[in-house]
């Protein structure tokens, strides 16, 4: 029975993954992500239900648009699969099963976890595609951090209120500085955006996971730069630190669950 439950959770995760690929494409373009019908970015043909079944549609259409036959980037199916796996790992880590699924606390923890995964995927996806951290996604992360902290305050027995207040004050200050810098210089401050992401991570996944994430990220960046130097690879894009940071955060959370 648990296997059947995890299959359903995987399918749900892949559906979210399909939506996230749409969101990471449209958000930087200030395009509507909720009411506007899905369409092929090449021929602009509206997609029907059979074109949007997560994973299966990509396989059945052999990675091409049904209408203009343009090749579809494999990142779509990759994100759908990874999102499904992330949802299942989250469920296992939070002990979501047929016996605990009726427990309100379990459901709330899972929902908050799902919303956090969405935040990580959006930050990583947009940074990977556009070399930026979107302000709207940061605001979403800020709201999520407040919701998560409020829930912990009322339902956690070992909550450290001072810790939450300090992080929230830090978050507000950095957000205000970032907005002022944006008005003054007319562009995003990437380093400040990274700091905001780190504070949100610390609030939601705590210090250990955040520190491990930063260490993983620095190691990945160091190895990547060493390999680029050895093979003399020239990159046309800036360092996608937010992308690696979010990926590292997922890995660090999995590592902590395995160890514990």
State the sign of the Cα–Cα–Cα–Cα dihedral 48, 54, 56, 60. positive
pLDDT of 124 strictly over 80:
yes
Cβ–Cβ < 8 Å for 45, 39: yes
| pLDDT per residue as tens digits for the range 203-252 | 999 999 999 999 999 998 888 888 887 877 776 566 789 999 999 998 88
User: Which residues fall within 8 angstroms of residue 196, CB to CB, at 6 or more apart?
Assistant: 133, 138, 141, 142, 171, 174, 175, 178
If DSSP codes are grouped into helix, strand and coil, which group holds residue 93? helix
Nearest to 144 by CA among 201, 207, 104: 201
Over the stretch 41-67, which tens digit does the pLDDT of each residue have?
778 878 887 778 889 888 888 888 888
pLDDT score for 157:
67
Tens digit of each residue's pLDDT (9 = 90 or more) over 58-95: 888 888 888 888 888 888 899 999 999 999 999 988 88
Mean pLDDT, residues 127-133 taken together: 88
Distance CA 83, CA 256 (A): 19
Q: In whole angstroms, give the CA distance from residue 221 to residue 230.
A: 14
Q: Which residues contact 144 (CB under 8 A, 6 or more apart)?
A: 112, 115, 116, 119, 200, 204
Quote the pTM value.
0.89
**Which among 144, 136, 145 is positioned nearest to 188, based on CA atoms?**
136
């Amino acid at each position: 029975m648990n296997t059947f439950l995890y299959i359903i959770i995987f399918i749900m995760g892949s559906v979210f993954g399909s939506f996230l690929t749409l969101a990471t494409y449209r958000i930087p373009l200030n395009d509507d992500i909720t009411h506007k019908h899905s369409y092929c970015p090449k021929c602009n043909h509206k997609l029907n239900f059979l074109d949007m079944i997560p994973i299966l549609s990509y396989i059945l259409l052999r990675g091409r648009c049904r209408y203009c036959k343009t090749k579809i980037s494999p990142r779509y199916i990759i994100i759908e699969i990874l999102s499904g796996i992330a949802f299942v790992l989250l469920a296992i880590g939070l002990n979501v099963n047929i016996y605990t699924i009726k427990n309100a606390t379990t459901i709330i923890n899972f929902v908050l976890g799902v919303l956090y995964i969405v935040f990580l995927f959006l930050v990583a996806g947009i940074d990977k595609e556009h070399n930026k951290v979107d302000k709207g996604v940061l605001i979403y992360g800020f709201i999520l951090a407040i919701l998560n902290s409020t829930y912990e305050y009322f339902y956690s027995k070992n909550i450290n209120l001072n810790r939450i207040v300090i992080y929230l004050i830090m978050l507000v200050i950095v957000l205000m500085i970032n907005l002022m810098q944006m008005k003054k210089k007319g562009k995003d401050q990437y380093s400040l955006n990274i700091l905001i992401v780190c504070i949100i991570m610390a609030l939601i996944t705590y210090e250990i996971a955040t520190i491990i994430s930063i260490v993983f990220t620095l190691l990945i960046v160091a190895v990547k730069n060493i390999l680029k130097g050895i093979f003399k690879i020239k990159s046309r894009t800036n360092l996608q630190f937010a992308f690696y940071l979010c990926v590292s955060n997922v890995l660090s959370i999995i590592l902590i669950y395995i160890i514990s």
